[in-house]
Amino acid sequence: MKYIAVLLLALACSFSAFAQVQVLQGTVTNGTSDKPAAGDAVILLKLGQGMEEVTRTKTDAKGKFSFNMARVSGIFLIRVRHQDVNYHQPVQPGASSVQITVYDSKVIVPEIKLLDESDVYETQANTVQIVKVFRLNNTSSPKYTQPQFEFYLPEGANIQAAQAVAGGPPVKVTVVPMQEKNRYALSYPVRPGETHFEVVYQMPYSGSLKLAPKLAMVPEKFYVITPKSIKFTSENGASFQNADSWPIDNTIKGIDIHAAAVSSQGTQLAFSISGTGMLPDDQPPANPGANQAPGAEAVRPGGGMGVPNEKPDPLHSAQWLLLAILVICLGSGAAFIYFQNQPSAAPAGGGTAVASTAGLSLMDAMKEEMFQLESDRLQGKISAEEYQSAKTALDQTLKRAMQRQEKSK
């Protein structure tokens, strides 16, 4: 209840500040040259059921740009296109400025190292689901971006989803088939620093499966993660060893970790699995007769890289109550804006400045909550109905508040 009380206070006190942003200003810097990125295309995207372009512009000689936000509302993403590579920056509600760094690109950046590659296996009925995780580190100096990352999947792989993480929330990524059979590319830039990729795919399963992963890039280590109920066997002399921890998630328990050091492109990585089992954090529903398409939830990547995370949100049971409270608070915020803009005698002793400072100090809580709604939708943490209810209430209240503010001027 403390969380709800803080949220209500933040909503009621900071909503007026949210409506004040008229112009969003931004600066784009070229991280390769440490100079302003001049002439780059900048696109304002509204996040909803997809990404809707609102408007676009270009950076000036100082790498600066601006968008008029007076007539728009919602959750937005800034896309900057530099040397045919897209860079994205979320815009939190109420933000008045953004800073974006781009880099010059090379088709191949030799300083990029594949720290490890992991295959996470789960089996159920006649299907095996594999979550393939790549952890890369770009140490180029000067700093360069590689436009995409390429990899192989086994014959018969049915790709379900893919995402990337590079210093922010997970971003959905498109998997592009290449001309070579079973070779694919992820259309997401490998920029300086660490980037994690996660690809979820399924294959037919008849109780056992032999695999020999083909490597497009040599990892320092290759991991195979299985539930303890699944039997793992090395094949053709492959040197897999049992490991105590997995670098992607060293907190998960109840799994077997099989690790192999990879010294060259020709290292043999053959193995087989047999039996069935699900990971501890991704158990099937308690009611097996529930109306749900087979694998409908299983193919969804979890909230971040690594094992899909199906643990319920501690506030899940109170979501509808929170949504109702949110609507009430947003209505209160709109009324607050309306009365705040009515003519009145100036308060003595600088009272207005004090109230404004209090509202702005609570603005961060509002920003995080509203951006989290969109982030949760993109990651599949809330249902479409829950997302739409909250978003509709927010959009309608915002619109009314802005109209009242305009009339009061």
Q: What is the pLDDT of residues 18-77, one digit of tens each?
A: 444 588 999 999 999 999 999 999 999 988 777 889 999 999 999 999 999 887 777 888
Indicate the CATH number of 112-282 among 1.10.10, 2.60.40, 3.40.720, 3.30.160: 2.60.40
> What's the CA gap between 354 and 361, in Å, rounded?
11
Q: Half-sphere exposure of 153 toward its Cβ, with a 13 Å CA cutoff?
A: 25
> What's the CA gap between 278 and 400, in Å, rounded?
49
Residue 146: how many other CB atoms lie within 10 Å? 23
Angle CA(223)–CA(227)–CA(232) in degrees, nearest 5?
60
pLDDT value, residue 295: 34
Look at the chain and count its residues.
409
Burial tier of 388 (Cβ tally within 10 Å: 0-12, 13-18, 19+): middle
pLDDT value, residue 169: 77
> What's the CA gap between 351 and 72, in Å, rounded?
31
Condensed to tens digits (0 to 9), the pLDDT of residues 346-402 reads 444 444 433 344 344 444 444 455 566 666 666 566 666 666 766 666 565 555 555
Indicate if the alpha-carbon torsion angle 373, 201, 89, 68 is positive or negative: negative
Which residue, chain included where needed, has tokens 């056992």? 208
401 — phi, psi (to 5°)?
A: -65, -40
- Walking along the chain (409 residues) 10 residues at a time, the average pLDDT comes out as 49 46 89 97 86 92 93 85 91 87 96 96 93 97 96 96 88 93 94 96 95 93 95 88 91 91 78 92 40 35 41 44 54 53 45 40 46 62 67 59 55
Angle CA(23)–CA(44)–CA(197) in degrees, nearest 5?
130
Kind of pairing between the strands at 193-204 and 127-138: antiparallel
pLDDT value, residue 387: 66
| DSSP annotation string for 172-206 | E--EEE-SSTTEEEE-S-B-SEEEEEEEEEEEE-S
- The topology under which CATH files domain 21-102 is Immunoglobulin-like (2.60.40)
pLDDT value, residue 285: 37
pLDDT value, residue 80: 95
pLDDT value, residue 329: 55
Domain ranges in the chain?
Answer: 21-102, 112-282
pLDDT value, residue 353: 39
- Alpha carbon of residue 344 to chain centroid: 46
pLDDT value, residue 256: 95
190 strand-pairing partners: 146
Q: Half-sphere exposure of 68 toward its Cβ, with a 13 Å CA cutoff?
A: 2
Indicate if the alpha-carbon torsion angle 301, 304, 307, 311 is positive or negative: negative
pLDDT value, residue 334: 53
